[in-house]
Amino acid sequence: MSVRFLSSVAALALSSGAAMADYSLTILHTNDFHARFEPISKYDSGCSSEDNTEGKCFGGSARLVTAIEEARARSNNSILVDGGDQFQGTLFYTYYKGKLAAEMMNKMGYTAMTVGNHEFDDGPEVLRGFMDAVNFPVLMSNADVSGEPLLADVLMKSTVIEQGGEKIGLIGLTPHDTDELASPGPNIIFTDPSDAVQGEVDKLTAEGVNKIIVLSHSGYNVDKTVAANTTGVDVIVGGHSNTYLSNTSDRAEGPYPTMVGDTAIVSAYAYGKFLGELNVTFDDDGKVVEAAGEPIIMDAAVSEDEGTKARIAEAAAPLDEIRNKVVAETAEAIDGDKNACRSGECTMGNLVADAMLDRVADQGVTIAIANGGGLRASIDAGEVTMGEVLTVLPFQNTLSTFETTGAVIVEALENGVSQYEDVAGRFPQVAGLKFTFDPAAEAGSRISEVMVKDGEGYVAIDPAKTYLAVTNNYVRNGGDGYAMFKGASNAYDFGPDLADVTAEYLAANAPYTPYTDGRITKK
């Protein structure tokens, strides 16, 4: 029975005083795609065509096109939405900015998406260009954009669509701290997510809309908070924390969907590795009476759409000379997994921090701090290509050197571990120092035993002493909450590209052997 026919039956039933029929909807969803238009390896990095042929790769736009088509065929009433961060992550974004993302999302027939923090990486201009190119609404409720001319009359907080004869309200949500995570410029004011969502829910409810879906690029923990703090939200499609929810995998962070009260929360990891598929049934009051589904893995069992595959190959042609260049060799895989590098010492963090410090040590720099969120993939064993390095470090960040006191270094480390429970990107990877942290302590009081390298040994950091330090330009200018570095003395933000520095360090130490040495200790 078609949904259109159900709706007409419901209308007849209502006119005779009986209850309306239930309304069923399939919500297909992606999040944190990060320009992974080509298939990825198990490390979320590039995957060779040979490995893809052998069935070792995942994702890619060509598989998503097939999977979306098949999922639509299973449902007579579906929408396709995105939880943000289509931008940034590979050379495709560096080269095309938002153009290829817009083309592919239009091809796949997205219904709507929310703004992720990375949609602001190149300022409002690139986001506006993307919005002009897509044929679906892009939403963000928790920000005042009235002062930003490029977005003021275009970026809506919410929208209402008609689907299967029913009205559905869609609300966008982006990180509260986007001004610390990206480059939205000075004209946008970000606000509390729960308050923003409730404001839009109230507005939509007043318009008679009783089925409401939040597209949230705010992370799993914030999604659970929003669900608990608001009324009237039926489904939250998540993003930002790359959370994998599942009912079948022991690697999942929670059930799919995660229910908080009457609100169903879903998330489908990242990088196009899964297509989320949630089947929701609403009663005639718009309340969710059933929500079930599972993310579908985009492995070799999902065939690649040939037309899309050819288009991506065409788009990749200008990038191949850069990314196929072999720059080094590694004896073992280098772990850049998000969960590892945002919660403790990881081998990729040590590599990048060591490379930063090595490059500027002759300037008297003794401390390096890298944000774990800047490390976006792992590298497998064997030959290392520039493309792999650029997938790990895609942001075109430059080395920034500066002077600061020991007290400020400790303050920076406190910031770095302050959102440990959220697996936040500010977690500090370091070189030239060691520290201990207690995640059970109150944020702001978690750091202890900070030691700085002195010759072959370590000595306690001196709060009053001035140290020369290196980080990337994003962190030095206050990104990821490192506001304490913004006023640093003798700051120079225009050093070499961090990806080039890391590639050259790998080459100089080839074959590189990844390691950890206890520089970060968790109590």
pLDDT for 27-68, tens place per residue? Answer: 999 999 999 999 999 888 888 899 999 999 999 999 999 999
* CA of residue 232 relative to chain centroid, distance: 26
Report the SS3 class of residue 240.
coil
Neighbouring CB atoms inside 10 A of 76's CB total: 15
Report the alpha-carbon distance of residue 392 to residue 373 in Å, rounded. 10
- With 0-12 CB in 10 A as exposed, 13-18 as middle and 19+ as buried, what is 184? buried
Neighbouring CB atoms inside 10 A of 38's CB total: 24
Neighbouring CB atoms inside 10 A of 387's CB total: 20
Strand ranges, E, within 212-320: 212-216, 235-237, 258-260, 263-266, 274-282, 288-293, 296-297
Q: Report the pLDDT averaged over residues 4-23.
A: 45
Q: Report the pLDDT averaged over residues 230-251.
A: 97
| pLDDT tens track for 473-498 | 999 999 999 999 999 999 999 888 89
Position 10 confidence tier, pLDDT thresholds 50, 70, 90: very low
For 170, residues 6+ apart whose C-beta sits below 8 A from its C-beta are 81, 111, 112, 137, 139, 158, 159, 160, 161, 212, 213, 214, 215
* Tokens found for residue 284: 């005639």
* Tokens found for residue 92: 């495709």
- The answer on pLDDT for 5 being more than 80 is no
Q: Report the pLDDT averaged over residues 207-222.
A: 98
- The answer on pLDDT for 314 being more than 60 is yes
Position 21 confidence tier, pLDDT thresholds 50, 70, 90: confident
Report the alpha-carbon distance of residue 137 to residue 154 in Å, rounded. 9
| pLDDT tens track for 154-209 | 999 999 999 999 999 999 999 999 998 889 999 999 999 999 999 999 999 999 99
Instruction: Give, for 166, the enclosing helix (H) or strand (E).
Output: strand 166-173
Q: Report the pLDDT averaged over residues 108-129.
A: 97
| pLDDT tens track for 340-399 | 999 999 999 999 999 999 999 999 999 999 999 999 999 999 999 999 999 999 888 989
Neighbouring CB atoms inside 10 A of 223's CB total: 30
Position 20 confidence tier, pLDDT thresholds 50, 70, 90: low
Position 416, amino acid: G
Report the alpha-carbon distance of residue 32 to residue 438 in Å, rounded. 30
Report the alpha-carbon distance of residue 492 to residue 420 in Å, rounded. 29
- The answer on pLDDT for 125 being more than 60 is yes
Report the SS3 class of residue 103.
helix
- The answer on pLDDT for 9 being more than 80 is no
Q: How many secondary structure helices (H) and strands (E) does the chain include?
A: 17, 26
Q: Are 472 and 366 in contact (CB under 8 A)?
A: no
Report the alpha-carbon distance of residue 152 to residue 131 in Å, rounded. 13
Q: What is the pLDDT of the chain when averaged over all its residues?
A: 94
How confident is the model at residue 321, as a pLDDT?
87
How confident is the model at residue 43, as a pLDDT?
82
Report the SS3 class of residue 110.
coil
Report the alpha-carbon distance of residue 114 to residue 361 in Å, rounded. 42
- The answer on pLDDT for 7 being more than 70 is no
| pLDDT tens track for 258-313 | 999 999 999 999 999 999 999 999 999 999 999 999 999 999 999 999 999 999 99
